[in-house]
Chains A and B, each alone.
Chain A
Amino acid sequence: MKTLVRFGPLIALLLACAFFATQSDRFLSTENFSLILQQVMVVGVLAIGQTIIILTAGVDLSCGAVMALGNIVMTKLAVNSGVPPMIAISAGIAVTTLFGFANGLLVSAIKLPPFIVTLGTLNIAFAITQLYSSAQTITELPAAMTALGASSGVLLTLALYGVAWFALSQTAAGRHVYALGNDAEAARLAGIATSKLLVSVYVIAGALYGVAALLLVARTGVGDPQAGQTENLDAITAVVLGGTSLFGGRGTVIGTLIGTLIVGVFRNGLTLMGVSSVYQILITGMLVILAVSTDKLSRR
Protein backbone atom coordinates (compact mmCIF):
# COMPACT_ATOMS: atom_id res chain seq x y z
CA MET A 1 0.00 0.00 0.00
CA LYS A 2 2.87 2.28 0.89
CA THR A 3 4.58 1.74 -2.45
CA LEU A 4 1.27 2.34 -4.17
CA VAL A 5 1.02 5.72 -2.53
CA ARG A 6 4.60 6.65 -3.25
CA PHE A 7 4.49 5.60 -6.87
CA GLY A 8 0.78 6.02 -7.43
CA PRO A 9 1.01 9.27 -9.33
CA LEU A 10 3.80 7.96 -11.54
CA ILE A 11 1.86 4.78 -12.25
CA ALA A 12 -1.22 6.83 -13.11
CA LEU A 13 0.83 8.95 -15.49
CA LEU A 14 2.38 5.96 -17.21
CA LEU A 15 -0.96 4.19 -17.52
CA ALA A 16 -2.52 7.33 -19.00
CA CYS A 17 0.31 7.64 -21.52
CA ALA A 18 0.02 3.98 -22.44
CA PHE A 19 -3.72 4.35 -22.92
CA PHE A 20 -3.51 7.45 -25.09
CA ALA A 21 -0.76 5.88 -27.14
CA THR A 22 -3.22 3.17 -28.12
CA GLN A 23 -5.94 5.68 -28.96
CA SER A 24 -3.99 7.98 -31.23
CA ASP A 25 -0.83 7.44 -33.19
CA ARG A 26 0.05 11.08 -32.80
CA PHE A 27 0.39 10.87 -29.04
CA LEU A 28 3.75 9.18 -28.66
CA SER A 29 5.99 11.60 -30.48
CA THR A 30 8.75 13.86 -29.22
CA GLU A 31 6.96 16.76 -30.83
CA ASN A 32 3.78 16.02 -28.92
CA PHE A 33 5.57 15.51 -25.61
CA SER A 34 7.55 18.67 -26.11
CA LEU A 35 4.24 20.43 -26.65
CA ILE A 36 2.73 19.00 -23.48
CA LEU A 37 5.74 20.18 -21.49
CA GLN A 38 5.37 23.67 -22.90
CA GLN A 39 1.67 23.64 -22.10
CA VAL A 40 2.20 22.68 -18.47
CA MET A 41 5.27 24.72 -17.65
CA VAL A 42 3.41 27.80 -16.37
CA VAL A 43 1.20 25.83 -13.97
CA GLY A 44 4.21 23.66 -13.27
CA VAL A 45 6.22 26.53 -11.85
CA LEU A 46 3.21 27.90 -9.95
CA ALA A 47 2.80 24.45 -8.48
CA ILE A 48 6.34 24.42 -7.05
CA GLY A 49 5.38 27.42 -4.92
CA GLN A 50 2.08 25.83 -4.07
CA THR A 51 3.85 22.63 -3.02
CA ILE A 52 6.07 24.25 -0.44
CA ILE A 53 3.13 26.19 0.94
CA ILE A 54 0.95 23.10 1.17
CA LEU A 55 3.81 21.25 2.86
CA THR A 56 3.50 23.74 5.70
CA ALA A 57 -0.19 22.81 5.97
CA GLY A 58 -1.14 26.03 4.23
CA VAL A 59 -2.66 26.77 0.84
CA ASP A 60 -2.40 29.63 -1.61
CA LEU A 61 -5.54 30.54 -3.48
CA SER A 62 -3.95 33.63 -4.96
CA CYS A 63 -1.16 32.11 -7.06
CA GLY A 64 -2.83 32.58 -10.44
CA ALA A 65 -4.03 36.10 -9.70
CA VAL A 66 -0.60 37.16 -8.43
CA MET A 67 0.98 35.65 -11.54
CA ALA A 68 -1.47 37.63 -13.70
CA LEU A 69 -0.49 40.84 -11.93
CA GLY A 70 3.17 39.97 -12.50
CA ASN A 71 2.61 39.42 -16.19
CA ILE A 72 0.83 42.75 -16.56
CA VAL A 73 3.42 44.68 -14.55
CA MET A 74 6.36 43.39 -16.57
CA THR A 75 4.72 43.87 -19.96
CA LYS A 76 3.11 47.22 -19.27
CA LEU A 77 6.38 48.65 -17.92
CA ALA A 78 8.25 47.45 -20.97
CA VAL A 79 5.74 48.46 -23.61
CA ASN A 80 3.94 51.51 -22.21
CA SER A 81 6.67 52.98 -20.03
CA GLY A 82 9.66 52.01 -22.12
CA VAL A 83 11.44 50.30 -19.24
CA PRO A 84 14.29 48.00 -20.41
CA PRO A 85 13.01 44.40 -20.57
CA MET A 86 15.28 42.96 -17.88
CA ILE A 87 14.30 45.65 -15.40
CA ALA A 88 10.63 45.29 -16.28
CA ILE A 89 10.84 41.55 -15.72
CA SER A 90 12.59 42.06 -12.39
CA ALA A 91 9.94 44.55 -11.37
CA GLY A 92 7.21 42.05 -12.19
CA ILE A 93 8.89 39.37 -10.14
CA ALA A 94 9.47 41.86 -7.34
CA VAL A 95 5.74 42.61 -7.21
CA THR A 96 4.78 38.95 -7.02
CA THR A 97 7.42 38.36 -4.35
CA LEU A 98 5.99 41.27 -2.38
CA PHE A 99 2.56 39.66 -2.48
CA GLY A 100 4.16 36.46 -1.25
CA PHE A 101 5.74 38.38 1.60
CA ALA A 102 2.38 39.93 2.49
CA ASN A 103 0.74 36.51 2.52
CA GLY A 104 3.54 35.09 4.67
CA LEU A 105 3.42 37.94 7.12
CA LEU A 106 -0.32 37.70 7.60
CA VAL A 107 -0.15 33.94 8.05
CA SER A 108 2.79 33.80 10.42
CA ALA A 109 2.75 37.04 12.38
CA ILE A 110 -0.97 37.66 12.61
CA LYS A 111 -1.72 33.94 12.48
CA LEU A 112 -4.62 34.22 10.05
CA PRO A 113 -5.67 31.04 8.24
CA PRO A 114 -3.87 30.81 4.86
CA PHE A 115 -7.13 29.99 3.08
CA ILE A 116 -8.63 33.30 4.12
CA VAL A 117 -5.51 35.41 3.69
CA THR A 118 -4.87 34.18 0.18
CA LEU A 119 -8.54 34.52 -0.71
CA GLY A 120 -8.13 38.19 0.15
CA THR A 121 -4.89 38.63 -1.80
CA LEU A 122 -6.50 36.82 -4.72
CA ASN A 123 -9.16 39.49 -4.97
CA ILE A 124 -6.74 42.35 -4.37
CA ALA A 125 -4.27 41.10 -6.99
CA PHE A 126 -7.08 40.55 -9.49
CA ALA A 127 -8.51 44.03 -8.97
CA ILE A 128 -5.11 45.74 -9.26
CA THR A 129 -4.42 43.80 -12.45
CA GLN A 130 -7.68 44.93 -14.04
CA LEU A 131 -7.23 48.54 -12.99
CA TYR A 132 -3.57 48.80 -13.98
CA SER A 133 -4.15 47.19 -17.38
CA SER A 134 -7.62 48.69 -18.02
CA ALA A 135 -8.44 45.11 -18.85
CA GLN A 136 -6.51 45.44 -22.09
CA THR A 137 -4.07 42.92 -23.46
CA ILE A 138 -0.57 44.27 -23.92
CA THR A 139 1.04 43.40 -27.22
CA GLU A 140 4.20 44.06 -29.20
CA LEU A 141 6.58 42.97 -26.52
CA PRO A 142 10.34 43.34 -26.86
CA ALA A 143 12.03 40.18 -28.05
CA ALA A 144 13.93 39.67 -24.81
CA MET A 145 10.67 39.03 -22.99
CA THR A 146 9.63 36.15 -25.17
CA ALA A 147 12.94 34.35 -25.21
CA LEU A 148 11.84 31.68 -22.76
CA GLY A 149 8.90 30.61 -24.91
CA ALA A 150 9.47 27.02 -25.81
CA SER A 151 12.29 24.63 -24.98
CA SER A 152 14.28 27.10 -22.89
CA GLY A 153 11.21 27.69 -20.77
CA VAL A 154 10.76 23.97 -20.30
CA LEU A 155 14.42 23.59 -19.34
CA LEU A 156 14.09 26.40 -16.83
CA THR A 157 11.01 24.73 -15.36
CA LEU A 158 12.78 21.40 -15.01
CA ALA A 159 15.81 23.11 -13.51
CA LEU A 160 13.60 24.83 -10.94
CA TYR A 161 12.09 21.48 -10.05
CA GLY A 162 15.59 20.11 -9.62
CA VAL A 163 16.57 22.93 -7.31
CA ALA A 164 13.34 22.58 -5.34
CA TRP A 165 13.85 18.83 -5.01
CA PHE A 166 17.37 19.32 -3.70
CA ALA A 167 16.40 22.05 -1.27
CA LEU A 168 13.47 20.12 0.14
CA SER A 169 15.10 16.73 0.50
CA GLN A 170 18.80 17.39 0.92
CA THR A 171 19.04 20.51 3.04
CA ALA A 172 18.17 21.23 6.65
CA ALA A 173 15.87 24.12 5.68
CA GLY A 174 13.92 21.79 3.44
CA ARG A 175 13.47 19.22 6.19
CA HIS A 176 12.39 22.01 8.51
CA VAL A 177 9.60 22.88 6.07
CA TYR A 178 8.32 19.32 6.39
CA ALA A 179 8.64 19.43 10.18
CA LEU A 180 6.76 22.72 10.29
CA GLY A 181 3.87 21.26 8.35
CA ASN A 182 3.88 17.96 10.17
CA ASP A 183 4.00 19.34 13.72
CA ALA A 184 4.61 23.04 14.08
CA GLU A 185 5.03 22.86 17.84
CA ALA A 186 7.63 20.11 17.56
CA ALA A 187 9.51 22.21 15.04
CA ARG A 188 9.44 25.22 17.31
CA LEU A 189 10.58 23.24 20.31
CA ALA A 190 13.39 21.77 18.25
CA GLY A 191 14.71 25.30 17.91
CA ILE A 192 13.55 25.98 14.37
CA ALA A 193 12.67 29.63 13.73
CA THR A 194 9.21 28.72 12.54
CA SER A 195 7.83 32.20 11.87
CA LYS A 196 10.80 33.16 9.77
CA LEU A 197 10.64 29.87 7.91
CA LEU A 198 6.94 30.26 7.16
CA VAL A 199 7.41 33.76 5.77
CA SER A 200 10.34 32.56 3.62
CA VAL A 201 8.18 29.81 2.16
CA TYR A 202 5.56 32.31 1.02
CA VAL A 203 8.19 34.73 -0.26
CA ILE A 204 9.88 32.02 -2.34
CA ALA A 205 6.50 30.97 -3.67
CA GLY A 206 5.77 34.59 -4.63
CA ALA A 207 9.05 34.79 -6.54
CA LEU A 208 8.18 31.56 -8.36
CA TYR A 209 4.81 33.03 -9.36
CA GLY A 210 6.78 35.86 -10.95
CA VAL A 211 8.87 33.38 -12.93
CA ALA A 212 5.66 31.66 -13.99
CA ALA A 213 4.41 35.06 -15.18
CA LEU A 214 7.52 35.43 -17.32
CA LEU A 215 7.03 31.97 -18.80
CA LEU A 216 3.42 32.87 -19.55
CA VAL A 217 4.47 36.08 -21.28
CA ALA A 218 7.09 34.19 -23.26
CA ARG A 219 4.68 31.49 -24.30
CA THR A 220 1.74 33.69 -25.32
CA GLY A 221 3.70 36.72 -26.46
CA VAL A 222 1.35 39.13 -24.67
CA GLY A 223 0.56 40.55 -21.25
CA ASP A 224 -2.88 39.14 -20.53
CA PRO A 225 -4.99 40.63 -17.74
CA GLN A 226 -7.44 37.74 -17.96
CA ALA A 227 -4.72 35.19 -17.30
CA GLY A 228 -4.42 33.03 -14.24
CA GLN A 229 -8.06 32.71 -13.32
CA THR A 230 -8.25 28.95 -13.46
CA GLU A 231 -4.59 28.53 -12.56
CA ASN A 232 -5.31 29.15 -8.87
CA LEU A 233 -7.01 25.81 -8.59
CA ASP A 234 -4.96 24.14 -11.34
CA ALA A 235 -1.82 24.52 -9.25
CA ILE A 236 -3.50 23.02 -6.19
CA THR A 237 -4.83 20.17 -8.33
CA ALA A 238 -1.34 19.39 -9.59
CA VAL A 239 0.02 19.30 -6.04
CA VAL A 240 -2.75 17.03 -4.79
CA LEU A 241 -2.51 14.69 -7.77
CA GLY A 242 1.19 14.38 -7.07
CA GLY A 243 0.49 12.88 -3.67
CA THR A 244 1.25 15.82 -1.39
CA SER A 245 -1.05 15.91 1.61
CA LEU A 246 -3.19 18.99 2.19
CA PHE A 247 -2.64 18.42 5.90
CA GLY A 248 1.04 19.29 5.57
CA GLY A 249 4.33 17.56 6.20
CA ARG A 250 4.04 14.93 3.49
CA GLY A 251 4.71 14.94 -0.22
CA THR A 252 7.35 15.67 -2.79
CA VAL A 253 7.90 18.27 -5.42
CA ILE A 254 8.64 15.58 -8.00
CA GLY A 255 5.14 14.30 -7.25
CA THR A 256 3.86 17.75 -8.17
CA LEU A 257 5.70 17.59 -11.48
CA ILE A 258 4.00 14.29 -12.19
CA GLY A 259 0.65 15.73 -11.11
CA THR A 260 1.13 18.63 -13.52
CA LEU A 261 2.01 16.24 -16.31
CA ILE A 262 -1.04 14.09 -15.59
CA VAL A 263 -3.33 17.06 -16.19
CA GLY A 264 -1.48 18.06 -19.35
CA VAL A 265 -1.42 14.51 -20.71
CA PHE A 266 -5.13 14.05 -20.17
CA ARG A 267 -6.00 17.34 -21.82
CA ASN A 268 -3.78 16.58 -24.79
CA GLY A 269 -4.78 12.93 -25.06
CA LEU A 270 -8.50 13.57 -24.87
CA THR A 271 -8.28 16.29 -27.49
CA LEU A 272 -6.38 13.93 -29.77
CA MET A 273 -9.13 11.38 -29.23
CA GLY A 274 -11.78 13.98 -30.06
CA VAL A 275 -13.41 13.45 -26.68
CA SER A 276 -15.42 16.37 -25.30
CA SER A 277 -13.59 18.43 -22.72
CA VAL A 278 -16.36 17.81 -20.23
CA TYR A 279 -14.84 14.37 -19.74
CA GLN A 280 -11.46 15.88 -19.08
CA ILE A 281 -13.01 17.91 -16.26
CA LEU A 282 -14.80 14.83 -14.97
CA ILE A 283 -11.68 12.68 -15.03
CA THR A 284 -9.57 15.31 -13.31
CA GLY A 285 -12.15 15.47 -10.53
CA MET A 286 -12.14 11.70 -10.11
CA LEU A 287 -8.34 11.57 -10.06
CA VAL A 288 -8.20 14.20 -7.33
CA ILE A 289 -10.61 12.21 -5.16
CA LEU A 290 -8.58 9.09 -5.84
CA ALA A 291 -5.33 10.81 -4.94
CA VAL A 292 -6.64 12.24 -1.69
CA SER A 293 -8.31 8.97 -0.66
CA THR A 294 -5.21 6.92 -1.36
CA ASP A 295 -3.18 9.31 0.70
CA LYS A 296 -5.57 9.09 3.64
CA LEU A 297 -6.10 5.32 3.45
CA SER A 298 -2.41 4.57 3.30
CA ARG A 299 -2.01 6.05 6.71
CA ARG A 300 -4.53 3.86 8.49
Chain B
Amino acid sequence: MTHAITATGLIKRYGHVTALDGADFELRAGEILAVIGDNGAGKSTLIKILSGAITPDSGQLEVDGKAAHFSSPIDARNAGIETIYQTLAVAPAMSVAENLFLGRELRRSGPLGAVLRMLDKPRMLRESALHMKELEIGIASMTQPVETLSGGQRQGVAVARGAAFARHVVIMDEPTAALGVKESAMVLDLIRRVKDRGLAVVLVSHNMPHVFAVADRVHIQRLGRRVGLFDTPAISMNDVVALMTGVERRP
Protein backbone atom coordinates (compact mmCIF):
# COMPACT_ATOMS: atom_id res chain seq x y z
CA MET B 1 0.00 0.00 0.00
CA THR B 2 1.48 3.36 -0.95
CA HIS B 3 1.54 5.80 1.82
CA ALA B 4 -0.15 9.09 1.05
CA ILE B 5 2.82 11.02 2.39
CA THR B 6 6.16 10.03 3.83
CA ALA B 7 8.93 12.28 4.97
CA THR B 8 12.31 11.43 6.44
CA GLY B 9 14.98 13.47 8.16
CA LEU B 10 13.34 16.86 7.80
CA ILE B 11 15.50 19.67 9.13
CA LYS B 12 14.48 23.33 9.38
CA ARG B 13 16.38 26.04 11.20
CA TYR B 14 15.49 29.66 11.81
CA GLY B 15 18.74 31.34 12.73
CA HIS B 16 19.88 29.75 15.99
CA VAL B 17 16.58 28.01 16.56
CA THR B 18 16.15 24.48 15.22
CA ALA B 19 12.47 23.91 14.58
CA LEU B 20 12.82 20.46 13.00
CA ASP B 21 15.75 18.26 13.90
CA GLY B 22 15.53 15.27 11.59
CA ALA B 23 11.78 14.71 11.81
CA ASP B 24 10.03 11.79 10.14
CA PHE B 25 6.44 11.61 8.99
CA GLU B 26 4.16 8.90 7.63
CA LEU B 27 0.55 9.15 6.55
CA ARG B 28 -1.39 6.17 5.25
CA ALA B 29 -3.90 6.63 2.46
CA GLY B 30 -7.41 7.24 3.77
CA GLU B 31 -6.55 7.46 7.47
CA ILE B 32 -7.05 10.19 10.03
CA LEU B 33 -3.65 10.92 11.56
CA ALA B 34 -3.51 13.30 14.49
CA VAL B 35 -0.32 15.29 14.95
CA ILE B 36 0.16 16.37 18.51
CA GLY B 37 2.93 18.05 20.43
CA ASP B 38 3.59 20.83 22.85
CA ASN B 39 4.37 24.38 21.80
CA GLY B 40 7.78 24.56 20.18
CA ALA B 41 7.76 20.88 19.25
CA GLY B 42 7.86 21.73 15.56
CA LYS B 43 4.24 20.82 14.73
CA SER B 44 3.44 23.92 12.75
CA THR B 45 6.78 23.86 10.93
CA LEU B 46 6.13 20.27 9.93
CA ILE B 47 2.66 21.11 8.70
CA LYS B 48 3.88 24.13 6.77
CA ILE B 49 6.39 21.93 4.95
CA LEU B 50 3.67 19.43 4.07
CA SER B 51 1.39 22.19 2.84
CA GLY B 52 4.10 23.83 0.79
CA ALA B 53 4.19 27.06 2.75
CA ILE B 54 7.89 26.63 3.59
CA THR B 55 10.73 24.47 2.30
CA PRO B 56 12.90 22.28 4.55
CA ASP B 57 16.64 22.86 4.76
CA SER B 58 17.15 19.14 4.16
CA GLY B 59 15.22 15.88 4.17
CA GLN B 60 13.08 13.84 1.81
CA LEU B 61 9.43 14.16 1.01
CA GLU B 62 7.34 11.63 -0.94
CA VAL B 63 3.75 11.88 -2.02
CA ASP B 64 2.07 8.71 -3.20
CA GLY B 65 5.46 7.04 -3.44
CA LYS B 66 6.95 9.72 -5.69
CA ALA B 67 9.53 12.28 -4.58
CA ALA B 68 8.05 15.72 -4.10
CA HIS B 69 9.39 19.27 -3.72
CA PHE B 70 6.94 21.99 -2.82
CA SER B 71 8.15 25.53 -3.46
CA SER B 72 4.74 27.05 -2.83
CA PRO B 73 1.30 26.12 -1.51
CA ILE B 74 0.20 25.73 -5.13
CA ASP B 75 2.66 22.89 -5.63
CA ALA B 76 1.20 21.06 -2.64
CA ARG B 77 -2.31 21.66 -3.99
CA ASN B 78 -1.31 20.35 -7.37
CA ALA B 79 0.03 17.24 -5.64
CA GLY B 80 -3.44 16.72 -4.20
CA ILE B 81 -2.85 18.12 -0.70
CA GLU B 82 -5.26 20.75 0.62
CA THR B 83 -4.65 22.69 3.82
CA ILE B 84 -7.21 24.23 6.13
CA TYR B 85 -5.41 26.84 8.19
CA GLN B 86 -6.21 27.69 11.74
CA THR B 87 -7.24 31.17 10.63
CA LEU B 88 -9.44 29.51 8.00
CA ALA B 89 -8.10 31.82 5.28
CA VAL B 90 -11.53 32.91 4.12
CA ALA B 91 -12.45 36.37 2.88
CA PRO B 92 -15.19 37.45 5.32
CA ALA B 93 -16.99 39.87 3.02
CA MET B 94 -17.26 37.36 0.21
CA SER B 95 -19.90 34.67 -0.12
CA VAL B 96 -19.68 31.00 0.75
CA ALA B 97 -19.53 30.02 -2.92
CA GLU B 98 -16.91 32.64 -3.73
CA ASN B 99 -14.73 31.46 -0.89
CA LEU B 100 -15.13 27.85 -1.86
CA PHE B 101 -13.86 28.58 -5.33
CA LEU B 102 -11.37 31.30 -4.39
CA GLY B 103 -8.38 31.01 -6.68
CA ARG B 104 -10.04 28.20 -8.60
CA GLU B 105 -13.04 29.94 -10.06
CA LEU B 106 -15.09 28.27 -12.79
CA ARG B 107 -15.53 30.06 -16.07
CA ARG B 108 -18.38 29.95 -18.49
CA SER B 109 -18.00 27.71 -21.47
CA GLY B 110 -17.52 29.07 -24.94
CA PRO B 111 -16.33 32.57 -25.87
CA LEU B 112 -17.88 34.19 -22.79
CA GLY B 113 -15.51 32.21 -20.65
CA ALA B 114 -12.54 31.92 -22.97
CA VAL B 115 -12.44 35.45 -24.37
CA LEU B 116 -14.26 37.58 -21.81
CA ARG B 117 -13.19 35.32 -18.95
CA MET B 118 -16.64 35.51 -17.47
CA LEU B 119 -17.33 33.53 -14.32
CA ASP B 120 -19.94 30.82 -14.22
CA LYS B 121 -21.60 31.95 -11.03
CA PRO B 122 -24.70 29.75 -11.26
CA ARG B 123 -22.53 26.66 -11.62
CA MET B 124 -20.33 27.62 -8.69
CA LEU B 125 -23.42 28.16 -6.56
CA ARG B 126 -24.80 24.76 -7.52
CA GLU B 127 -21.58 22.91 -6.89
CA SER B 128 -21.00 24.66 -3.58
CA ALA B 129 -24.44 23.64 -2.44
CA LEU B 130 -23.66 20.07 -3.48
CA HIS B 131 -20.41 19.96 -1.53
CA MET B 132 -22.12 21.32 1.55
CA LYS B 133 -24.86 18.76 1.23
CA GLU B 134 -22.45 15.86 0.86
CA LEU B 135 -20.59 16.88 3.96
CA GLU B 136 -23.87 17.64 5.71
CA ILE B 137 -22.82 21.17 6.55
CA GLY B 138 -25.85 23.20 7.50
CA ILE B 139 -25.57 26.47 5.62
CA ALA B 140 -28.75 27.79 4.10
CA SER B 141 -27.51 30.09 1.38
CA MET B 142 -24.37 29.92 -0.71
CA THR B 143 -24.59 33.63 -1.41
CA GLN B 144 -24.41 34.81 2.16
CA PRO B 145 -21.15 36.46 3.25
CA VAL B 146 -18.97 34.22 5.37
CA GLU B 147 -18.80 36.82 8.10
CA THR B 148 -22.50 36.25 8.82
CA LEU B 149 -21.87 32.57 9.66
CA SER B 150 -21.16 31.08 13.05
CA GLY B 151 -17.68 29.82 13.92
CA GLY B 152 -18.61 26.23 13.22
CA GLN B 153 -20.23 27.08 9.91
CA ARG B 154 -17.15 29.02 8.87
CA GLN B 155 -15.03 26.04 9.74
CA GLY B 156 -17.44 24.03 7.60
CA VAL B 157 -16.83 26.28 4.62
CA ALA B 158 -13.05 25.97 5.02
CA VAL B 159 -13.28 22.18 5.39
CA ALA B 160 -15.64 21.86 2.43
CA ARG B 161 -13.19 23.81 0.32
CA GLY B 162 -10.34 21.56 1.33
CA ALA B 163 -12.36 18.39 0.86
CA ALA B 164 -13.80 19.50 -2.47
CA PHE B 165 -10.43 20.00 -4.10
CA ALA B 166 -8.18 17.54 -2.30
CA ARG B 167 -7.22 14.45 -4.19
CA HIS B 168 -5.33 12.65 -1.44
CA VAL B 169 -4.84 14.59 1.75
CA VAL B 170 -6.57 17.26 3.79
CA ILE B 171 -4.49 18.94 6.48
CA MET B 172 -6.49 20.58 9.27
CA ASP B 173 -4.75 22.91 11.70
CA GLU B 174 -6.59 23.14 15.06
CA PRO B 175 -10.08 22.90 13.54
CA THR B 176 -11.91 22.83 16.87
CA ALA B 177 -9.74 25.25 18.82
CA ALA B 178 -12.12 28.19 18.58
CA LEU B 179 -15.37 26.27 18.81
CA GLY B 180 -17.81 25.39 21.56
CA VAL B 181 -18.89 21.86 22.44
CA LYS B 182 -21.76 21.51 20.00
CA GLU B 183 -19.94 23.00 17.05
CA SER B 184 -16.82 20.94 17.81
CA ALA B 185 -18.91 17.80 17.66
CA MET B 186 -20.24 18.93 14.27
CA VAL B 187 -16.71 19.44 12.99
CA LEU B 188 -15.56 16.05 14.24
CA ASP B 189 -18.46 14.46 12.36
CA LEU B 190 -17.40 16.45 9.35
CA ILE B 191 -13.85 15.10 9.62
CA ARG B 192 -15.21 11.58 9.62
CA ARG B 193 -17.21 12.30 6.50
CA VAL B 194 -14.12 13.64 4.79
CA LYS B 195 -12.44 10.34 5.53
CA ASP B 196 -15.50 8.54 4.16
CA ARG B 197 -14.82 10.28 0.87
CA GLY B 198 -11.52 8.45 0.69
CA LEU B 199 -9.27 11.31 1.69
CA ALA B 200 -6.53 11.08 4.31
CA VAL B 201 -6.70 13.68 7.05
CA VAL B 202 -3.81 15.16 9.00
CA LEU B 203 -5.33 16.61 12.13
CA VAL B 204 -3.21 18.98 14.17
CA SER B 205 -4.78 19.47 17.56
CA HIS B 206 -4.14 20.26 21.21
CA ASN B 207 -7.40 18.72 22.23
CA MET B 208 -6.81 15.13 23.41
CA PRO B 209 -10.43 14.06 23.67
CA HIS B 210 -11.09 15.29 20.12
CA VAL B 211 -7.99 13.53 18.88
CA PHE B 212 -8.98 10.27 20.42
CA ALA B 213 -12.53 10.66 19.19
CA VAL B 214 -11.64 10.67 15.49
CA ALA B 215 -8.00 9.77 14.84
CA ASP B 216 -6.92 6.35 13.62
CA ARG B 217 -3.30 6.99 14.55
CA VAL B 218 -1.46 9.63 16.50
CA HIS B 219 1.95 11.18 15.62
CA ILE B 220 3.69 12.63 18.65
CA GLN B 221 6.08 15.49 17.99
CA ARG B 222 8.64 16.63 20.54
CA LEU B 223 11.70 18.85 20.32
CA GLY B 224 11.78 18.82 16.51
CA ARG B 225 11.39 15.06 16.05
CA ARG B 226 8.75 12.40 15.92
CA VAL B 227 8.91 10.53 19.19
CA GLY B 228 6.00 8.20 18.65
CA LEU B 229 3.51 6.90 16.09
CA PHE B 230 0.72 4.76 17.52
CA ASP B 231 -2.68 3.37 16.65
CA THR B 232 -5.07 5.26 18.91
CA PRO B 233 -6.77 2.17 20.32
CA ALA B 234 -3.35 0.87 21.39
CA ILE B 235 -2.32 3.78 23.58
CA SER B 236 -3.86 5.77 26.38
CA MET B 237 -4.31 9.54 26.53
CA ASN B 238 -2.05 9.73 29.56
CA ASP B 239 0.81 7.92 27.84
CA VAL B 240 0.46 10.15 24.84
CA VAL B 241 0.66 13.27 26.97
CA ALA B 242 3.64 11.84 28.81
CA LEU B 243 5.50 11.24 25.57
CA MET B 244 4.52 14.66 24.35
CA THR B 245 5.92 16.40 27.38
CA GLY B 246 8.87 14.08 27.78
CA VAL B 247 7.98 13.02 31.28
CA GLU B 248 8.51 9.38 30.52
CA ARG B 249 10.32 7.71 27.64
CA ARG B 250 8.81 4.63 26.10
CA PRO B 251 10.73 2.56 23.54
Known: A170-B119, A172-B117, A172-B119. A190 touches B87 (CB 8 A): no
Bound CA span A166–B118, Å: 8
**Any chain B CB within 8 A of the CB of A267?**
no
Interface of B is mostly: loop
Chain A residues near B116 (CB-CB < 8 A):
166, 170-171
Chain A residues near B87 (CB-CB < 8 A):
185-186
Interface of A is mostly: helix
Nearest CB of B to A100, in Å: 22
Partner of A183, one of B91, B98, B107, B119: B91
Nearest CB of B to A20, in Å: 34
Nearest CB of A to B200, in Å: 20
B102 and A187 contact, CB distance less than 8 A: yes
A185 and B89 contact, CB distance less than 8 A: yes
Nearest CB of A to B195, in Å: 23
Please, what's the 1-or-0 string for B152-180, where 1 marks a CB less than 8 Å from any CB in chain A? 00000000000000000000000000000
A182 and B103 contact, CB distance less than 8 A: no
Chain A interface size range: 20 to 34
A172 and B89 contact, CB distance less than 8 A: no
**Any chain A CB within 8 A of the CB of B93?**
yes
Nearest CB of B to A240, in Å: 17
Chain A residues near B129 (CB-CB < 8 A):
none
A191 and B117 contact, CB distance less than 8 A: no
Chain A residues near B92 (CB-CB < 8 A):
182-183
Bound CA span A102–B105, Å: 30
Chain A residues near B188 (CB-CB < 8 A):
none
Chain A residues near B102 (CB-CB < 8 A):
175-176, 179, 186-187, 190, 192
**Any chain A CB within 8 A of the CB of B54?**
no
**Any chain A CB within 8 A of the CB of B94?**
yes
Chain A residues near B89 (CB-CB < 8 A):
183, 185-186, 189-190
**Any chain A CB within 8 A of the CB of B70?**
no
A to B CB contacts below 8 Å, 16 in the list: A166-B118, A171-B117, A171-B118, A172-B105, A173-B117, A175-B98, A175-B119, A176-B102, A179-B98, A182-B92, A182-B93, A183-B89, A183-B90, A186-B88, A186-B91, A191-B103
Binding site for A on B (CB under 8 A): 73-74, 77, 83, 85, 87-94, 98, 102-105, 107, 116-119, 121
